[in-house]
Chains A and B, each alone.
Chain A
Amino acid sequence: MFAAAATLAAAALLVSGCGFGPGSQEGSAELIVSSDYGRQVLVEQTLEDLTESETALRVLDDSAEVKTRYGGGFVQSVDGLEGGTEAGRSLDWFFAVNGIVAERGSAEFPVNAGDQVWWDYRDWTDAMDIGAVVGAWPAPMTGGYDGEVWPVNIECAGDRAACETVRGRLADENVDATIQMGLGTSPEGSLRFIVGPWAGISADEESMKLTEKPARSGVFANFEESGGDDTLVGLNEVSEPVQDFGPEAGLVAATRRGQGPPTWIVTGGSEAGVEEAASALTSADLQHRYAAAVIDGQIFSLPLP
């Protein structure tokens, strides 16, 4: 009787994911370790032997020399690159899983097969709160975040051609997306792509963030009106305007409010700029970038150096 009960209990524990050792899981994950907003890649590798107990910190610790603080909950240094203050600027390690900057500690954040974990050492003095980045394309749409995968909606505020390009790029990654004309048409809880020229999308609550400084928007770019056109201006890490890309440039950026799904913004000063931005929705063009400015097929990482 006792033996049967013990066997049943053991079986229940095994079914509920219990067991000795770290366990194992099928599939692989991707780890990127970089500095300066992804400009310098230090480690990039595919993690094949994933365990059931994998966390964002454990995958980093497997691939680099890590030192932590505050009871192991905060990464202080990776391969000797240590967080702290340098010439009055604050630098630390941040991580994003599938392009979403985690709101939980890395030691508590589980990593599953298919996830992309990106650790970046950056100056956060002017932008502590960056909710989402574009460098993990297409992981936010294919893998979701923290066990949740959202439906994808494209809100079209300009020419349908650019929206079709966005849908095509998503389809290339096996993501089904619905195009809806007009802003704010996506159902609650869906991942939004806002596609259209800046003049058409600037009234949207999420897009409107771009009118503010990176400290609030999390994006090192904004649009300025010049001679009746909206011109894209790229900022550097200290939020200073560095380059005027002009009205023909496009912008791909991601934002996130609270704990909901991210919003991707595909825009430009003109329809041509939007088309440029939509065409840049590929892994090759977006990898290791927080946001991207596109002009004449050339991609610029934001913030600018």
Chain B
Amino acid sequence: MSVGGNPWLQTHWDWHVALNFLTGGAGSGLLIVAVLTGMPLTAPVLLAAALIGIGLAQVSLHLGRPLRSFNVIFNPQTSWMTREAFVAGPLLLLAVIAGAFDTLVAGLPAALCAAAFIYCQARILKESKGIPVWREPHIVGLIITTGLAEGAALALLVALAVGQVEALLPAGTLLLLLVVARFISWRAYRGALDGNAPHEALNVLARAEGPFVGVGLAVPLLLLGVAATVPAAREILVVLGALSALLTGWGLKFVLITRASYNQGFAIVHTPKRGAGSGGIGSKPGW
């Protein structure tokens, strides 16, 4: 229905695509954090590879023509989706090697690939000119910081799961820094979006701000802060803190991709004259 020209919620990219951003971001973040914190690489890196692989695999299966998935690599000149695919191959390979052999020789380049991968994902959204809340340049910082925060949260959970107690402090510290960075990125992103996106999209983001951004900052800070001072409840507090950082990041990206993704809509600069009348002001409905 085309009455009005208002922006409407895009439906091309649904939860299948969103999942790739959720798992790909968190997986890449995990890999980077694991390497940075010097954790034993096997568990975190294999988990990271699995997350990244699952995201890519299921998004490929939901292509209109999945059998042609290979064609995704044809446009490295300008397409960040091609570049993501280019990075994904070495990333997965290096991650598996690093995981299998727990070697920094593979872990470092894998982390670099993961950084490139997360950057590609951020740029994929930024280059989506049809979706105002995606094309805002600050989305790059937001996607990267939230991916890294999710990665740090996962690193904490992995460390606890496999008993790498020595990784808790660096990973926890990193997580605290990253949720703050994510919050700062969000503020910059939201500030830049004001007046640059349809009302409906901004309303969705406004509604998401409390549960995802606020909680995503406050709860990890609080729980991890308390965990540092209350050793008895440390593990449960770390788990809850990490989960809150992870899930709020995922929630935010899910909202961003599937709920706030109102398209540009239509606009006219002038209404026309009609016969002897004169032209009038234009309209950008929904903005």
Asked whether A and B interact, the reply is: no
Measuring CB to CB, which residues of chain B are less than 8 angstroms from any residue of chain A? none
Measuring CB to CB, which residues of chain A are less than 8 angstroms from any residue of chain B? none
